[in-house]
Structure 1
Amino acid sequence: MVSIPAQSPPQSATHDVTNQAPPLAPYDASEDHALLEGLRREGAGWAEEGIRALGVRAGGEEAQEWGEQANRHEPELRTHDRYGHRIDEVDFHPSWHHLMRTAVAEGLAGAPWADDRSGAHVARTAGGLVWGHTEAGHGCPTSMTYAAVPALRAEPDLAKIYEPLLTSRVYEPGLRVPTEKPGLLAGMGMTEKQGGSDVRTNTTTATPTGEPGVYTLRGHKWFTSAPMCDVFLVLAQAPGGLTCFLVPRILPDGSRNTFRVQRLKDKLGNRSNASSEPEFDRTVAWRVGPEGLGVKTIIEMVNCTRLDCVMSSATLMRKTLVEAGHHACHRSAFGARLIDQPLMRNVLADLALESEAATTLTLRLAGAADRAVRGDAGERAFRRIATAVGKYWVTKRGPAFTAEALECLGGNGYVEDSGMPRHYREAPLLSIWEGSGNVNALDVLRALGREPDTAEALFAELALARGADARLDAAVVSLRQQLAETDQVGARRLVERMALALQASLLVRHAPHPVADAFCATRLGGDWGHAFGTLPAGVGLDAILERALPGRN
């Protein structure tokens, strides 16, 4: 017979939890030197108090829970009501609406277009950099609403009606006559299954009606996000060629426009956001801009949404870096905290360099956008090329970055409860949305060939750091030579070098010396391995980490 001790330990003793990091929330998502310094530098220091308040809210337990719930309870399509009527509506978890309501109220949708203050577009971008710590999916409809305004201005009569509603800070979900709502959201339907980014192959047709500027559409779109929006900008083939149109879900008489949502996409990430395939059949649409100039009409929209891709990638970098740093501060292995172990410090510092470079570039692009819309021709040229360069490079760095940050948590980072898998699945989208890497690299070549002032603007920006770092100076000289020799085969290599030189020049001018020096040594000087965590001996790890993770290391 087995002898059982008279006083055995309670069963729960085998499940004591030790050496686990506590929850990160609540935290301040705006506690980021690169972010706040860039906000001030790019002309939106007046918004700092609001950005700080939004950062506290974004890192709060409630908002973090909203993000988790909105992704756990995905949107559901209802094609018909109980009586058999076609309704094509999408139902969302209440947390989605909480996130959207806050984003719109904070001016992250179209509000900057109605704000005359210098730096309004910078303030919006900074707001996205902190509010994006909640979750990424709801940034899609706010981004498209923001981007729709400049495109809609190609048709002043339509802009007069819709712009005040697209720039509103009121979020009202549900479909009804757009002009009867206090605020609107805009989506877009550009791509089709046979062409994707090659929108000139679109087959959706637009037939003029007897009413000036009014057409009917027939066709099928392949990837239309946010089908619950009130209005959409759509490309279709009119008699005069590819043209942009405004398509409302509800017509002025209160009837439903034909917008048959065939299905919602089953996506890798971005699960909280509904992406759909709508079918048009005698769908009423209003022309935006002249026939045949559809691509030209939407180019401003693309500039805006590409900036948001850069912003969202930079946000994911910062969010996952903070998560990784928090874990390393509270987890011990082999007799020491992870944050105190030299190799982990190298990894985190390397990630910190990448994150600061992405954030600094994002805010510089936002500053260029803000000044461009106010008539600065030089900034318009810089924005044209630098946004495409940033879109290519920062979004390309995102997946590798989030994978490394996830690995800092070890097995804990691989389980859904940590939130890191959601961030990891989100990262690849941003290099695909608004044109994949090849599309953006070719767009840079197109700009250089057709708009010589873009190259001049880029090198003028780089020249502002001339003489401050020999490695940067050498990179700029090499870049000029490569510019004259590059064809399509070398486009990616060229754009990568443009991006690194641009990021380095910004850090040399604006970041502390340890940050700029380490970035130039590794990204330009070649003293770097092929993975994060390979910074050379002698770089200022302590200074880099203290700047990136103040009080956490």
Structure 2
Amino acid sequence: MPPSTHTVTNQASPLVDYDVFTADSALAEGVARHVAPERAEEVREELSELGRAAGCAQAQEWGRQANANPPVLRTHDRFGHRVDEVDFHPAWHQLMERAVGAGLTDPFSRPDGQLRRSAAFLVWSQVEPGHGCPVSMTHAAVPALRQDPALAAEWEPLLTSHRYDWGLDRPASAKLGAIAGMGMTEKQGGSDVRANTTRATPLTGAGADGAEYTLLGHKWFCSAPMSDVFLVLAQAPGGLTCFLVPRVLPDGTRNGFRIQRLKDKLGNRSNASSEVEFDGSTWARRVGEEGRGVATIIEMVAATRLDCVTGSAALMRQSVAQAVHHAGHRSVFGRPLVEQPLMRNVLADLALESEAATTLALRLAAAHDSVAGGGERAEAERAFLRLALPAAKYWVTKRCVPLAGEALECLGGNGYVEESPMPALLRESPLNSLWEGSGNVQALDVLRALQRSPASLDAFLGEIGRAHGADHRLDAAVKDVFTQLADLEGIEARARRLVERMALVLQGSLLVRFAPPEVADAFCASRLGGDWGAAFGTLPSGADLEALVERARPVAG
């Protein structure tokens, strides 16, 4: 027998058994910055516990299994009865149980609730991002339902419960918790929801209270069709209206909710996205007034847009963590890859992008808490979010795709094989730029806010003005934004350029105020000062590359 040649050397070990929260300096420092001091230690311990769970081998295996075994549609039972159920691998339920148990559907019950939840969402999404879709929609449904006090009293305790209670074998009222989905998109309309053709017919007669309807129509994308309840848009006699559609009716019978097929998607494999049919018997209850569907559901959209920013920040962070970990354990030309000057520049640039995304996501979460808390800051923060949220959603989700691709390249061929976590991260990276409005929708929403809400521009300028004078490159970039805003000729065609610049100056202002000097300086020099190439790895000379990389390095057990 010839001697064995399969001795494995110079390979990085898996990134496992580490605290995903405390290993992320930008996240841990950002939470400490925004949380009330008297709760700082409690919140840190809570997030560290979740971080250790997210970094453990068991959770990572759940994520792998959930993606390797996607959901399966079961339209009929063995006797031929229509059931329209979606079966999931047990790993999916393990992920959901931990997410719901950690309060990821409940930012309402505690002080600093949205900040806690967003930080936890950023931590736990790094295990497996697909199950974040129903988690996100469940928490986001609550603000819309609060426009109908009776519906909120019935459904909010279930949607904010910390108990995951799977199954359509009983009505939601008999369960310990419920999960929500949504159905807005139709094949002829896409983002133009006012073109929806699904019809809502008021019910009359005994038992009907004026708020009950039947629905007839089709939804081209219905997210998480296995959920207990859905918010959908349909055309009522008074115009486009928001409706609540339960999967199981109060008497225990199934609602007329027909799943036509599951979508075969690029990524997001663990989650079910579907086409559904409302057959004319589908019972629904009106949420808000007839003709006010968009206004009713807008708070849900705002909450899920925040999760798009946070979810992309989570994908970025996990991509960077994997790249830095690999480079720290792989030697090339006689020394660790992380010490090679060009690779160090790439890793530092990736780390910088990730930190800017995380810092911005946490600032938006803190603003949500201020709005929820009321008081003198509430209206100013609401105005700030009106402009900052779509700008952040546009830019952060756009940056996720190239970052994930570059991070994969850092691992070379080891990153391109399906045994690596990198392909799943890359496939997932475009999703958040599509969900809740594509890039053009976000850019046009920013223009709409500028035109209709002068207070939002005042609040935005007030936020970035807090860093005035701290960095000349930031000041010049802010001046450039003013110049663009002063020239309204052809503004729609230039909207992307404007929104990109607004997002960058917002990130820059936050980093100048809160990040270590080497982080702020590198960001302003590259993103705002113009000394930056089209690809990652082009940070200018003088940037403290080693400090940036070490700040981003995850420490495994």
Are 1:446 and 2:439 an aligned pair? no
Equivalent pair of 2:323/2:410 in contact (CA under 8 Å)? yes
Q: Which residue pairs with 2:323 in the alignment?
A: 324
Equivalent pair of 2:158/2:177 in contact (CA under 8 Å)? yes
CA drift of 1:419 comes to: 1.3
The AA in structure 1 aligned to 2:103 is G
Q: Which residue pairs with 2:528 in the alignment?
A: 524
CA drift of 1:165 comes to: 0.8
SS in structure 2 at match of 1:221: strand
CA drift of 1:143 comes to: 0.2
Match of 1:158 among 126, 129, 151: 151
Match of 1:28 among 15, 19, 28: 19
Are 1:48 and 2:40 an aligned pair? no
Measured in 2, the distance between the counterparts of 1:150 and 1:79 equals 32
SS in structure 1 at match of 2:265: coil
SS in structure 1 at match of 2:74: strand
Map 1:465-484 onto structure 2 (within 5 A). 465-484=467-486
The AA in structure 2 aligned to 1:429 is L
SS in structure 1 at match of 2:395: helix
The AA in structure 1 aligned to 2:157 is P
Measured in 2, the distance between the counterparts of 1:345 and 1:28 equals 24
Moved more, 262-271 or 172-181: 172-181
Measured in 2, the distance between the counterparts of 1:414 and 1:248 equals 42
SS in structure 1 at match of 2:200: strand
SS in structure 2 at match of 1:260: strand
Q: 5+ residue gaps in structure 2?
A: none
CA drift of 1:68 comes to: 0.3
Q: Which residue pairs with 1:177 in the alignment?
A: 171
Match of 1:535 among 524, 529, 539: 539
Map 1:457-468 onto structure 2 (within 5 A). 457-468=459-470
CA drift of 1:259 comes to: 0.4
Measured in 2, the distance between the counterparts of 1:455 and 1:515 equals 27
Match of 1:380 among 356, 379, 382: 382
CA drift of 1:314 comes to: 0.4
SS in structure 2 at match of 1:501: helix
Are 1:255 and 2:257 an aligned pair? no
Map 1:345-494 onto structure 2 (within 5 A). 345-375=344-374, 376-486=378-488, 487-494=491-498
CA drift of 1:42 comes to: 1.6
Are 1:545 and 2:549 an aligned pair? yes
Moved more, 444-453 or 22-31: 22-31
Q: Which residue pairs with 1:112 in the alignment?
A: 107
The AA in structure 1 aligned to 2:460 is L
The AA in structure 2 aligned to 1:130 is V
SS in structure 1 at match of 2:362: helix
CA drift of 1:252 comes to: 0.6
CA drift of 1:116 comes to: 3.8
Deviations 1:520-549 (A, max 9, x none): 000000011110000111111122122221
Q: 5+ residue gaps in structure 1?
A: 1-7
Q: Which residue pairs with 2:192 in the alignment?
A: 198
CA drift of 1:9 comes to: 4.3
The AA in structure 2 aligned to 1:245 is F
Measured in 1, the distance between the counterparts of 2:552 and 2:417 equals 26
Match of 1:146 among 139, 148, 166: 139
Measured in 1, the distance between the counterparts of 2:139 and 2:384 equals 21
Measured in 2, the distance between the counterparts of 1:274 and 1:104 equals 18
Measured in 2, the distance between the counterparts of 1:491 and 1:42 equals 31
Measured in 1, the distance between the counterparts of 2:48 and 2:292 equals 42
The AA in structure 2 aligned to 1:324 is A
Match of 1:126 among 112, 119, 122: 119
CA drift of 1:196 comes to: 0.6
The AA in structure 2 aligned to 1:81 is D
Q: Which residue pairs with 1:236 in the alignment?
A: 234
Deviations 1:187-212 (A, max 9, x none): 00001000011000000000000112
* Aligned residues between the structures: 540
Equivalent pair of 2:203/2:212 in contact (CA under 8 Å)? yes
SS in structure 1 at match of 2:278: strand
SS in structure 2 at match of 1:466: coil
CA drift of 1:484 comes to: 2.4
Measured in 2, the distance between the counterparts of 1:332 and 1:170 equals 46
Measured in 2, the distance between the counterparts of 1:206 and 1:400 equals 43
CA drift of 1:164 comes to: 0.8
CA drift of 1:372 comes to: 1.1
CA drift of 1:122 comes to: 0.3
Q: Which residue pairs with 1:68 in the alignment?
A: 64
RMSD of aligned Cα (Å): 1.0
The AA in structure 1 aligned to 2:382 is R
Q: Which residue pairs with 1:513 in the alignment?
A: 517
